[in-house]
Structure 1
Amino acid sequence: MSVFVSHTTIDCHDAYALSEWWRVALDYITDPDDPNEPGHEECPIQDPETGHTLLFIEVEDDPLPAKRIHLDVRPRERDQADEVAWLLGHGATEVADRRGKYGPGTGWVTLADPEGNQFCVLSSRAELAARR
């Protein structure tokens, strides 16, 4: 079992402006059912051919942190809690637990690999579907 990269996250001060800049530069698209707008704190853009997604997230850090780009991963078969436990057993360390940030069943856990590179573990697709 393993995780897969859901998207690449970029910390920034203005998620909308930066996502729009990269959207044009890369010829990516936004979700027509949930377009990015000024003031949005999270703005995803996507490659229309491959589905690769960049997610721009606003952070208050000033200056911005040195490690501004990280992977967000989603469990393939396990649920989020089991995946976090497995990754911790595999040598990851917990940085922050933000589960429930936006209500029950939401959020992520920030972990670091053995060299300190941070990544976030999201809910599995099955967990997302169960919330709908």
Structure 2
Amino acid sequence: MTSYISHTTIDCTNAYELSEWWKPVLGYVDIDGDPNLPGHEECMVRDPQTGHQLLFIEVPDAKSVKNRVHLDLRPRERTRDEEVEWLLGYGATQVADHRGIHGPGSGWVVLADPEGNEFCILRSDAEVAAADH
């Protein structure tokens, strides 16, 4: 017998603020009938296309080391570089730049959200398809 992933949990100090930050990044929305509000210690959002859910939960511990698990994001509408620039303007910070690591057009950029949780920006599906031709 196997298990399935119910949702992905992100520990944080302010569940509402971080869930609100991530919603426009991912295009996620609040759960129907369960809106997230300031002061909520747990805030769940979901992808209206896939149903994947992220739970932001407040914990007393501050982040102190690199994440062992992180999100790898592929832009839906922009290129990798356009997405990186948008995210930096939106409040993400750049942790590492691995663009071109495997030749021209390859690689990814490691960013962090306002609480320091790392995530990677990969090339879009269109960029990957164009490189395969």
TM-score, scaled to structure 1: 0.51
* SS across alignment from 2:105: coil
Structure 1 residue 110 and structure 2 residue 101: aligned? no
Q: What is the number of residues matched between the two proteins?
A: 74
Matched-pair contact (CA < 8 Å) for 2:66–2:118 = no
Taking the TM superposition and a 5 Å limit, the aligned residue runs for 1:86-101 are 86-101=86-101
In structure 1, the partner of 2:84 is 84
Structure 1 residue 78 displacement after superposition:
0.4
Residues in 1 aligned to 2:98 and 2:106: alpha-carbon distance in whole angstroms:
8
The structure-2 alpha-carbon separation of the partners of 1:79 and 1:95, relative to structure 1 and needing over 3 Å to count, comes to: same
Q: What's the % identity of the aligned pairs?
A: 62
RMSD: 2.2
Matched-pair contact (CA < 8 Å) for 1:3–1:74 = no
Matched-pair contact (CA < 8 Å) for 1:92–1:114 = yes
Greater strand percent: which structure?
1
- Superposed CA offset, 1:56-99 (max 9, x none): xxxxxxxxx65200000000010011000000111000000000
State the one-letter code of the partner of 1:75: P
Structure 1 residue 101 displacement after superposition:
0.5
Residues in 2 aligned to 1:3 and 1:76: alpha-carbon distance in whole angstroms:
9
Residues in 1 aligned to 2:66 and 2:82: alpha-carbon distance in whole angstroms:
30
Moved over 4 A (4+): 1-4
Matched-pair contact (CA < 8 Å) for 1:3–1:76 = no
User: Which of the pair has more CA radius of gyration?
Assistant: 2
Residues in 2 aligned to 1:111 and 1:66: alpha-carbon distance in whole angstroms:
12
Residues in 2 aligned to 1:101 and 1:109: alpha-carbon distance in whole angstroms:
10
Where in structure 1 are there 5+ consecutive unaligned residues?
5-49, 53-64
Residues in 2 aligned to 1:130 and 1:102: alpha-carbon distance in whole angstroms:
16
Higher relative contact order (CA 8 A, sep 6+): 1
Residues in 2 aligned to 1:130 and 1:121: alpha-carbon distance in whole angstroms:
17
In structure 1, the partner of 2:131 is 131
